[in-house]
Structure 1
Amino acid sequence: MKLYQADASPFVRKVRVLLHETGQYDDVEHVPVQITPVSPDAAVSAANPLGKIPALERPDGPAIYDSRVICRYLDARKGAGLYPEARIWETLTLEATADGIMEAAVLMVYEARVRPEEKRFDGWIDAQWTKAIGAVNTINARWMSHLHGPLDAAHIAVACALGYLDFRHGDRDWRSANGPLAAWYAEFSARPSMQATVPG
């Protein structure tokens, strides 16, 4: 298998953490790429017509993309149980919430880094942060019992989302109003899979 990736991407990190957690990391060739919404990569676009990462080429079918699809595939391939049927809708909803945090946080970066300065819109950046921090607050208020349960894909997604907030938006404080989640993240981020995938 071949994974198109950029180490800074929280969506890629989610896949890489899952690979570590399921013992499949060395089954994949990790192909680094550099892309933005305005500078696609030909190999990535061949694997994913949307031109986004992560994208996974696999031997038993066409390439697959979107981190949630890739994580489901890799979980099924190993039979790892990170999408447990007993709480599948909770796991998928919490994973989607974490992915929404990632998406909003990435859009904030793109607005400042990719858009020409004269076209940047601070209101757009603020609106994305409102979405991200609102989701963080909701996880802290509603989902801590799930996060303290058995490991599943949602745990990985939440941890990668919070790690990306620290990585790209460290000047914004998500912790002070979310003490239980901050404590959970401090413990989870010490896992070997998280330590091995810290963006540089």
Structure 2
Amino acid sequence: MKLLVSHASPYARKCRVTALEKGITNLEEVHVSPLDEPEKLNHLNPLGKIPCLIYGENKTLFDSPVICAYFDEMGEGPRLMPKEGEAHWAMRRHEALFDGLLDSALGIVVDLRKPEQQQSEQWQQRWGCAIDRALSQGQNELDKIEGDISAAQIALGCAIGYLEFRLGKHDWLAPYPYLREWYETFNQRPSMQATLPK
């Protein structure tokens, strides 16, 4: 199997952390820049996005929630997403919340890379408010995702890591001390340390 990644991509990091937690060892990471090397990616993922998984006879999967679910099915490590019932949908909800947090952070990062006159303070504020609401809810519901490793924990840990990596001038966790404590512990997991963004 090959996983097309960028070391700076938080979505790819989610997949890399999941693979490590599931004990998947037959995974080759292929580094691709979607903007600079579209010829390496677009025929595999028409959306031109990473991560993208190549498996079997040139089959592909994208994007991160689908790839992580595939790893969860085939890996040997602990189950990250309950298979069915209310627990399954509760975990899906948390994963979607923290993936949305990531989407908002990426929106700010992309906007800040534009020339100043093209940036949108209104959108940056909207995305920032979404991040704060997601962090607040994450702290309020920590007891629902704590315990054994889970898809929700991986999504939250990678989202906070991306905030620190790309938007670290703002202390996003200042209002959320319990969430900060959780993240500092979770970030010491070998899977998180092995996938620190560069």
Q: Which category of TM-score, normalised to the shorter sequence, fits these structures? A: over 0.9
User: In the aligned structure 2, how far is the partner of 1:117 from the partner of 1:148?
Assistant: 41
Structure 2 distance, partners of 1:96, 1:109, is 20
- 1:102 counterpart = 2:102: yes
SS in 2 for 1:27: coil
1:46 Cα offset (Å): 1.2
Query: How much has 1:90 moved relative to structure 2?
Result: 1.4
Q: Which segment is superposed worse, 1-10 or 115-124?
A: 115-124
Show the counterpart of 1:125: 124
The answer to whether the Cα contact below 8 Å between 1:3 and 1:28 also exists between their aligned partners in 2 is yes
Residue aligning to 2:22? 22
2:18–2:154 contact (8 Å) kept in structure 1 = yes
TM-score (norm 2): 0.92
| Cα deviation code 1:60-94 (max 9, x no counterpart) | 56201010000001110125411113621111111
What SS class does the counterpart of residue 30 from structure 1 fall into? strand
Runs of 4+ residues over 6 Å off in structure 1 = none
What TM-score results when the alignment is normalised by the length of structure 1? 0.91
Aligned mates of 2:60, 2:187 — CA distance in 1? 30
Structure 1 residues not aligned, in runs of 5+:
none
Root-mean-square deviation over aligned CA pairs:
1.6
**Paired amino acid for 1:14:** K
Maintained 8 Å contact 2:23/2:76: no
**Cα offset for 1:9?**
0.9
Conserved 8 A contact 2:50-2:63: yes
Q: CA deviation at 1:51?
A: 0.6
Identity of aligned residues (%): 36
Give the equivalent residue in structure 1 for 2:59. 62
Q: Match of 2:170, as an amino acid?
A: R
| Distance in 1, Cα, partners of 2:93 & 2:37 | 30
Distance 1:77 1:95, change over 3 A: same
Which residue identity does 2:180 align to in structure 1? Answer: A
> Contact 1:40/1:51 (CA < 8 Å) preserved in 2?
no
**1:44-193 correspondence to structure 2 within 5 Å:** 44-59=41-56, 62-78=59-75, 80=77, 81-85=79-83, 87-113=87-113, 115-141=114-140, 143-193=141-191
Structure 1 window deviating more from structure 2 (183-192 vs 55-64): it is 55-64
Alpha carbons 1:140, 1:181 under 8 Å: kept: yes
Q: CA deviation at 1:117?
A: 3.4
1:27 maps to a residue whose letter is N
Q: Distance in 1 between matches of 2:178 and 2:146?
A: 10
Aligned length: 195
Return the alpha-carbon distance in structure 1 between the equivalents of residues 40 and 33 of structure 2.
Answer: 11
Residue 129 of structure 1: how far off its partner (Å): 1.0
Alignment match, 1:4: 4
